[in-house]
Amino acid sequence: MSQNHLTPHVHRFGFSAMGCPCELQLEVIDPELARIAAAAAQAEVERLDRKYSHYRDDSLVARIDASADAGTTIEVDDETADLLDFSTTLHAQSGGRFDITAGALTKLWDLQSARVPGEAEIASALARCGWHHVLWRRPYLKLDVPGMRLDLGGVVKEFAADRAAQCCRDAGIAHGVVDLGGDLAVIGAHADATPWLAGIKAPRDMSHTFAKIELHSGGLATSGDYERAVIVDGRRYSHIIDPLSGHPVESFASVSVLAESCLVAGAASTLGMLLGLGAGYVWLQGLGLPFLCIDADGEASGTLAQH
């Protein structure tokens, strides 16, 4: 017992935010310090969830959506402006496939339980999508078409993981890891300097681990469509929608990327998914970050795959 008071101990805190299970693992001697840090980190994640959720009608995103309908310009705060600037870069890097204004399309496909949307519905949603309809002159944002919907889901969770890790560091935690539904941000390696171990599980067989990844610092993010894909008449439709065509992309079941921050890792994995089987793999190879792709048949590839 006395040893517990002298050596750091991993304190685990679970909560639910951004529609997924979250966990903080904080390695520290003082349990009170761990509780304080965990509370700060959880509050930060919940703040970002409230601010950027497209399911809440009191979020900033809801206000931006309302401004699109009203045809008005909105002034956004610095944090949002930075996220919009970052999204602009992703849009350029993905040849227009990463688009935070594709909300109308993703909603259309999400809403279908077991039905493929008609071409007319897709065309109508497509008309309300597209970064080219956005007037973005920091800090002023105007969505030029009524009915446009913003979806920052592709970047906010990863950003929140980095922010939560920073909250823990600010509170005095040096060793730990933040896990927001599979997106990880490392606060710092274990107290004995050994890395945290993250296992990437098979999308459709959670007992099988594809890769064990050592995390010293930075972030690991995974994009996948295993939770939300729909199967209609035996055909699988992923929830990764190409905003240029309005149709789902034939892509991997999941893509994981390791980077210096969870935000960059998340951007890379999302872009890899959006670019699809061939182009995505080539792009990830060229990017130079450690990555792992798992296709619909459960085949793993990429620099992190264990052969």
Partner 1 sequence: MAPRHTLSPSLAALMSAAAVLAPDAHAHAQAVSGESDSRVSYRYNEYGEDAFAGAAIGSPDRYRVYSQQFQLDTHIGGRGALDVTATHEVMSGSSPWYVLPGADNRPIQVLSGATIREHRNEVRAAYTLDPGTSASTTFNASYSQERDYHATALGVEHSFPLNSALTLGVGGSFSHDLIAPTDAVLYDRVRHEEKDTVSAFGSLAWVIDKSSVVQTGVQFNVENGYLSDPYKLVSVGDAILADARPGSRTEAAWLLRYRRAFTSADAALHLDYRYAQDSWGVAANTLDVGWYQSLPGGWQLIPAARYYSQRQARFYAPFFVDSSAQRFFSSDYRLGTFGAFSASMNLRKRIAHWELSAGIERYHAATDYALDGADSAVPGVLSYTRAFVGLDYLFE
Partner 2 sequence: MRNRVSVYAIGSLLLGVLLLNGCATTPVQPWERGRLARWDMRWDSDPLQAAMDSHTHFSKEGSDGHIGAAGGGCGCN
Residues that bind partner 1 (CB under 8 A): 63, 67, 70-80, 82-83, 85-86, 88-90, 92-93, 135, 137, 139-140, 142, 159, 162-163, 165-166, 216-218, 258, 260-261, 263-264, 267-268, 283, 286-290, 303
User: Rounded distance, CA 16 to CA 20, Å?
Assistant: 6
Encoded amino acid at 17, one letter: A
Check residue 63 for interaction with partner 2 (CB under 8 A).
yes
Of 50 and 204, the one with the shorter C-beta distance to partner 2 is: 50
Check residue 80 for interaction with partner 2 (CB under 8 A).
yes
286 binds, among partner 1, partner 2, none (CB under 5 to 8 A by kind): partner 1
83 binds, among partner 1, partner 2, none (CB under 5 to 8 A by kind): partner 1
Q: How many residues bind partner 2 (CB under 8 A)?
A: 11
268 binds, among partner 2, partner 1, none (CB under 5 to 8 A by kind): partner 1
Instruction: Return the SS3 of 295.
Output: coil
197 torsion bin: left (phi>0), alpha (psi -120 to 50), beta (else): beta
Of 230 and 270, the one with the shorter C-beta distance to partner 1 is: 270
Counting Cα atoms < 13 Å in the Cβ hemisphere of 187 gives 30
Closest distance to partner 1 from the beta carbon of 73 (Å): 4
Helix axes 31-52, 60-70, angle to 10 degrees: 10
Q: Exposed, middle or buried, 3 (CB in 10 Å: 0-12/13-18/19+)?
A: exposed
Check residue 51 for interaction with partner 2 (CB under 8 A).
yes
Residues 76, 178, 186, 292: which binds partner 2 (CB under 8 A)?
Answer: 76
Closest distance to partner 2 from the beta carbon of 104 (Å): 21
* Closest among 198, 173, 201, 171 to 187, alpha carbons compared: 173
* Closest among 16, 15, 20 to 227, alpha carbons compared: 20
Helix (H) or strand (E) holding 110: helix 103-111
Interface stretch with partner 2, choices 37-45, 57-65, 125-133, 166-174 (CB under 8 A): 57-65
What 8-state DSSP symbol labels residue 102?
A: T
- Contact residues for partner 2, defined by CB under 8 A: 50-51, 58-60, 62-63, 66, 76-77, 80
